[in-house]
Amino acid sequence: MTRPQPGAARTAARLSRLGHDAVLMPLFEATVTAGIDDLPPVTEISGLVATSARAFDMFEDMNAIAAGLADVRVHAVGAATAQAARDAGFEHVHEGGGTAQALAQALAGDHAGSLTGPRASNRSGRTRLVYLAGVPRTPVIEAAVKAQNINCTVVECYKMREISYSTDILNSVILSPVPDVILLYSANAARRIQALAEPKNAVKSLKSSRFLCLSASIAAELPQDLRSRVIVARRPDEDSLLTSLAELD
């Protein structure tokens, strides 16, 4: 299980209930890098875009209601991110198709004036879309809003930092025995696994492991020699991912 905490523990519990022996190996941890004060004035914000639930960690000390943002529409990449937005106090949350690419297509289909929710006519002064972005990230959302000439401000509100493991810990604890399946939830995780599997890193061979990926874009980050052992979830959500895992048994 390579996803960051706290999601890793929740997924591990689900896997345990399904009869699997889940080993936690989070490859990244999220650090909040911005706060409410880093957002543009509330009177200018037409909507928020988020591709991760971690984007809403910045509202932990002051939720959307207290910040006067509860009625601002949120464009969330998928169900988990949408739920994080609702938990933060946002009332108008739109769920995307589960990938940054699908969310970008949805944004491209909207007009800048329609990004404010059901009371748009009363908020004509709000014309700025705000992307609650992480570091590192792919430029999918930025490219989409630029192509549509949408007024968008990027606020980098969290950073995914690599978690390092010693070779001894990897070989003797985490990867012993070698896992049957490695679950990958992000392109960053796929790139890290690829690096760990390189012979120069002296990590146990993963040649017998299969790689279960949340989306095709994540699978594309794995090298060609691993592709024959890659399975992509039918939909980019955890329920579908775990259904694919069950079908392997």
The pLDDT assigned to 116 comes to 44
The pLDDT assigned to 107 comes to 86
Domain 31-160 in the same topology as domain 7-27+164-248: yes
- Phi then psi for residue 27, to 5 deg, are -95, -15
Would you list the DSSP string of 35-104?
Answer: -GGGSPPGGGEEEEEESSGGGGGGGSSS-TTTTT-TTSEEEESSHHHHHHHHHTT-S-EEE--SSHHHHH
The pLDDT assigned to 45 comes to 95
- Phi then psi for residue 114, to 5 deg, are -100, 10
Average pLDDT estimate for 106-122: 55
C-alpha 110/C-alpha 149 separation (Å) is 11
- List, in order, residues 6 or more apart from 166 with CB less than 8 Å away: none
Average pLDDT estimate for 191-200: 79
Q: Which of 3.40.50.10090, 3.30.300.20, 3.30.830.10, 3.40.50.720 would CATH assign to domain 7-27+164-248?
A: 3.40.50.10090
- List, in order, residues 6 or more apart from 75 with CB less than 8 Å away: 47, 48, 49, 50, 94, 96, 103, 106, 107, 115
Which pLDDT band, with edges at 50, 70 and 90, does 125 fall under? low
The domain spans of the chain are 7-27+164-248, 31-160
152-162, strands of its sheet edge to edge? 28-32, 152-162, 128-135, 45-50, 73-76, 93-95
- Phi then psi for residue 20, to 5 deg, are -100, 150
Strand partners, 153: 130
Domain spanning 31-160, CATH architecture: 3-Layer(aba) Sandwich (3.40)
**20-32: pLDDT as tens digits:** 999 999 999 999 9
**136-177: pLDDT as tens digits:** 998 999 999 998 889 999 999 999 999 988 888 888 888 888
Q: Which of 56, 61, 65, 3 is nearest to 28 (CA)?
A: 3
- Per DSSP, helices labelled H in 99-227 are 100-108, 140-147, 167-169, 187-196, 216-219
**59-101: pLDDT as tens digits:** 999 999 999 999 999 999 999 999 999 999 999 999 988 889 8
